[in-house]
Amino acid sequence: MKFIYTFFLLFSFTACDLLDSNDIKLKKIEAQATKDMATLQTKKELATINKETELEKIRLQSELKKENFAQTLQLQTQKNEIKSQQYMMILIALVIIIISFFIFYYFKKRHENQLKAYEDNLKKYLQQKENDSRNKIAEKLIDTIASGKINKEQEATLLTALSGQVHSQTPQSIELLEDVEAELEEEPKEITP
């Protein structure tokens, strides 16, 4: 019985196809065609949207790359400017150090030259004063010898002391020289205009 029942069901489904009219089949085909066209249209729209999305994605990536490149270029430019400023500061510092060294060296040499000139002038002044003192002592000795107050031995001792040939002075010559120097100090100093 089952077999008959299955056979009956099978026959009824196939009979439905036979019973269907051409209109129904046509409507089914049209509906299927409309459905296929809608699916195809949707697929085309999706493909167009996908293409537009891909194009937009590519455009955004290229803009992002351009912005990254511009930022990298700007950073590199800033780094280069900072390095050039650092080099400029180092160069300026070196120039200032070199100039300072030469200024210091110049003033040091100038000071040394001034000290040397002052020392030379001082030596000349002291030499001149010594010569003036010797001349005055010599004049006093000549005056003392000319006055005849001393004996010949004392006269010879004074003359040798005057000429600078005495290696060891005797106590008498030292006393005579001290007397002459005392007389020189007692004389009023001449004022020259």
Higher local confidence (pLDDT), 145 or 18: 145
Instruction: Give the pLDDT confidence score for residue 168 in this predicted structure.
Output: 46
Answer yes or no: do 114 and 125 share one domain.
no
Q: What percent of the chain has pLDDT over 90?
A: 38
What total number of domains does the chain contain? 2
Higher local confidence (pLDDT), 158 or 135: 135
Answer yes or no: do 145 and 127 share one domain.
yes
Q: How many CB atoms lie within 10 A of CB 173?
A: 19
Answer yes or no: do 108 and 153 share one domain.
no
pLDDT over 50 (residue 115)? yes
Tell me if the pTM is above 0.85.
Answer: no
Answer yes or no: do 73 and 142 share one domain.
no
pLDDT over 80 (residue 94)? yes
pLDDT over 60 (residue 187)? no
Instruction: Give the pLDDT confidence score for residue 185 in this predicted structure.
Output: 60
Q: Is residue 39 part of a domain?
A: yes
Q: Which of 76, 94, 119 is the last residue of a domain?
A: 119
Answer yes or no: do 77 and 111 share one domain.
yes
Q: Is residue 30 part of a domain?
A: yes
| 137: CB partners within 8 A, 6+ apart | 162, 177, 180, 181, 184
Q: Is residue 2 part of a domain?
A: no
Q: Is residue 3 part of a domain?
A: no
Answer yes or no: do 114 and 131 share one domain.
no
* pLDDT tens digits for range 39-73: 888 888 888 888 999 999 999 999 999 999 999 99
Q: Is residue 13 part of a domain?
A: no
Q: Is residue 63 part of a domain?
A: yes
Answer yes or no: do 111 and 128 share one domain.
no
Answer yes or no: do 76 and 157 share one domain.
no
Answer yes or no: do 83 and 64 share one domain.
yes
Listed ranges 24-33, 112-121, 183-192; the one with the highest mean pLDDT: 112-121
Task: Provide the residue range defining the domain that includes 68.
Answer: 21-119
Answer yes or no: do 113 and 178 share one domain.
no
